[in-house]
Amino acid sequence: MHEPSDPRVGLYIDFDNIVISRYQQLHGRNAFQRDGIRNFDKTSRDADPEVAARLAAATVDFNAIIDFAASFGTLVVNRAYADWSVPVNASYQRQLMSRAVDLTQLFTTTTRGTKNGADIRLAVDVVEDLFRLPDLTHIIIVAGDSDYIALAQKSKRLGRFVVGIGVAGSTSTSLAAACDEFEDYDSLPGIVKAEAAQAAPGSSPSPAEAAMDQTPSKARKLTVVPMFSHTEDARFEEPDVAEDIDPRTLATELLVRALKIGHAKGDDEWLNTGTVKNQMRRMDPSFNEKPLGFRSFTDFLSSHSDLVELDDDGPQRLIRLRPDAGARE
């Protein structure tokens, strides 16, 4: 149960902004328009395999964004704005709905798409929520557009802590300055930076191989629930099946992710175990160590001595991720 004093977070995602920015970060300026991604259907028989590979390589890992947002407190508003009838947007629906994201539909009324519509609708919703939800403590805006500067400033004046998340190279420096905290997408825990995804000198992988090496399912091996990460072979209308996944394995991955976020957000080498458990519950509210066969959270942590270190000497029980743990994932 969340205490009334717990921080309460509103997450607002300008979907087109982040997806287009990521694609152009990897493939060059105006690449999204040049490749016709907006109307590109990778399931079509006539789909260009090279464009499909580039699109797969630029897949945005919204799990990392949502996990980071949950580190600030309880997510009470979780919305993404886009025209979900567009194939490239529709391919994310299963992932987002699995994380309880409210998919706000923006209908295309002009040849320029829904860009301005997303800006206005998102801003109006944030302002409405600021007055409708007086206990909302954090506003997180996933976008790099300078159009959101006034929104960030207004939110701060109304006493909210404003966090921005954007893609490097497509983010307004003025927007970053208007926020209390701003994070590049590449810097989020679990995300492989764009430059690190390039092929090594002397190698020339095929477009399909390059895509496989850069998709979130490869770069970010840890997932809370398998259905969150869409794969090329998956159909969105298929039921979610996870019987073949060991619950203990999922819990271990969740623990590592929570520790990485905790270490990334602060300078402390050691983290309070209670804080880590709260973060795990924010990332996956279904987490409970008892069905996994552990009497307490401490027993659960002790069973992972190969990944974590515990310190019981002080007044608080502390934990940290072993330095070599990431290399063994």
The total of structural domains in the chain comes to 2
Q: Let me know whether 164 and 311 are in one domain.
A: no
Q: What pLDDT is recorded for position 169?
A: 87
Asked if residue 224 and residue 172 are part of one domain, the reply reads yes
pLDDT above 70 covers what percent of the chain?
A: 79
Structural domain harbouring 256: 247-328
In a domain, 234, yes or no: no
Residue 108: which pLDDT band, with cuts at 50, 70 and 90?
A: confident
Query: Do 165 and 218 belong to one domain?
Result: yes
Residues 164, 40 share a domain = yes
pTM for this model (two decimals): 0.77
User: Is residue 239 situated within a structural domain?
Assistant: no
The residue out of 164, 196, 228 marking a domain boundary is 228
CATH of residue 300: 3.30.420.610
In a domain, 242, yes or no: no
Q: Check whether residue 224 and residue 279 sit in a common domain.
A: no
Q: Is residue 237 part of a domain?
A: no
**One-letter-per-residue 3-state SS of the chain:** CCCCCCCEEEEEEEHHHHHHHHHHHHHCCCHHHHCCHHHCCCCCCCCCHHHHHHHHHCCCCHHHHHHHHHCCCEEEEEEEEECCCCHHHHCCHHHHHHCCCEEEECCCCCCCCCHHHHHHHHHHHHHHHHHHCCCCCEEEEECCCHHHHHHHHHHHHCCCEEEEEECCCCCCHHHHHHCCEEEEHHHCCCCCCHHHHCCCCCCCCCHHHHHHHHCHHHHCCCCCCHHHCCCCCCCCCCCCCCCCCCHHHHHHHHHHHHHHHHHHHCCCCCEEHHHHHHHHHHHCCCCCCHHHCCCCHHHHHHCCCCCEEEECCCCCCEEEECCCCHHHC
Higher-scoring residue by pLDDT: 219, 38: 38
Tens digit of pLDDT for each residue in 25-57?
Answer: 999 999 999 999 988 988 888 899 999 999 999
Q: Is residue 162 part of a domain?
A: yes
